[in-house]
Amino acid sequence: MAALAAQTPAPKAVAAPTSNKAGVSLVTTTRVIVAVVVDVPGPAGPAAHFGPPSIGLQQGVRQVVTIPIYDTGAVLMKPYLAGDLRRCSGGPAVLSLAQQLDTFVPRTSIGYPWYVNNQVLSAGCYRATVSLDLRAGGTRLASYTGTLQVGVAATKVRRPPVQHPVVPKPSLPSWLVPAAAGAALLLLIAVLLLLRGRSQRRRLLERLKSKAPEP
């Protein structure tokens, strides 16, 4: 549903009658709006379908599974995406997904990135199962189950460099450096005075012994 609007290009100022000498003018604009309704074939509801997923590398540092999603509906929607990835030979899921997606615009498509974090899928055959619901636990819009081949090239993940934490070195306050230097100087002077005092006492004792009368 839409509307068409038309108005006069130049509004006219009309003087309003007043009971005093002050003048008042009003600007009037003539505008006409006509509603327009367009009927399109098909139900006005959400709809979608999947394409086959693929796997690749994101800048060589992690794997990413791309899930093509096509919005074939006629209204805006915020669907809920869920899925898992298992080896074709069976076993538990090696990757799981549960994500509330943002707004989808009708007749558009995206390649949703399913990132593989903290692990690397080895080369081989996997079975992907994904579903798209109108909301978590709500109406099912689309589902897909198929195989996903992980080639050797998709396993060449470069490990990012380990970031070692920087440990700050302890530093003395600026005022403590001259204080420590002064204390060291005073200690040195005290040691020199002590040594000098001992030397003087030794010489005095030697002189007293040399002057003492023999028995």
Among 49-53, 105-109, 173-177, 206-210, the minimum mean pLDDT is found in 173-177
Question: Average of pLDDT values for 150-158?
Answer: 93
Q: Which helix (H) or strand (E) is 16 found in, with range?
A: strand 12-16
Q: Say which residue, 56 or 42, is predicted with more confidence.
A: 56
* Cβ proximity of 105 and 73 under 8 Å: no
Assess whether pLDDT exceeds 70 at residue 203. Answer: yes
| Full DSSP string of 108-148 | -EEEEEEEE-S--PPSEEEEEEEEEESSTTS-EEEEEEEEE
pLDDT at 163 over 80: no
Task: Please report the pLDDT score of residue 6 as a whole number.
Answer: 82
CATH of 48-155 given 2.60.40.10, 2.60.120.10, 1.10.10.60, 1.10.1200.10:
2.60.40.10
Distance CA 175, CA 156 (A): 55
In this structure, is the dihedral angle defined by the CA atoms of residues 56, 58, 64 and 66, taken in order, positive or negative? negative
Model confidence band, residue 16 (pLDDT cutoffs 50, 70, 90): low
55's CB contacts (< 8 A; 6+ apart) are: 63, 64, 65, 66, 121, 148, 150, 154
- Residue 211's φ and ψ, nearest 5 degrees, are -90, -10
Cβ(136)–Cβ(125) below 8 Å: no
Query: CA 75 from chain center: how many Å?
Result: 30
Please report the pLDDT score of residue 36 as a whole number: 77
| pLDDT exceeds 70 at position 30 | yes
Q: Taking 90 as the threshold, does the pLDDT of residue 158 lie above it? A: no
pLDDT band at 183 (very low <50, low <70, confident <90, very high): confident
State mean pLDDT over 52-57: 96
Point out the least confidently predicted range of 57-71, 141-155, 183-197: 183-197
Segment 148-161 shows an average pLDDT of 87
Condensed to tens digits (0 to 9), the pLDDT of residues 190-200 reads 877 777 777 77
Domain boundaries, the chain: 48-155
Q: How far apart are alpha carbons 141 and 46 in whole angstroms? A: 8
For residue 16 the two structure tokens come to: 């309003």
- Across 22-40, average pLDDT: 74
> What single-letter amino acid sits at 181?
A
Mapping DSSP to helix (H, G, I), strand (E, B) and coil, where does residue 132 land? strand
The predicted pLDDT at position 180 comes to 75
Q: Do the Cβ atoms of 4 and 36 come closer than 8 Å?
A: yes
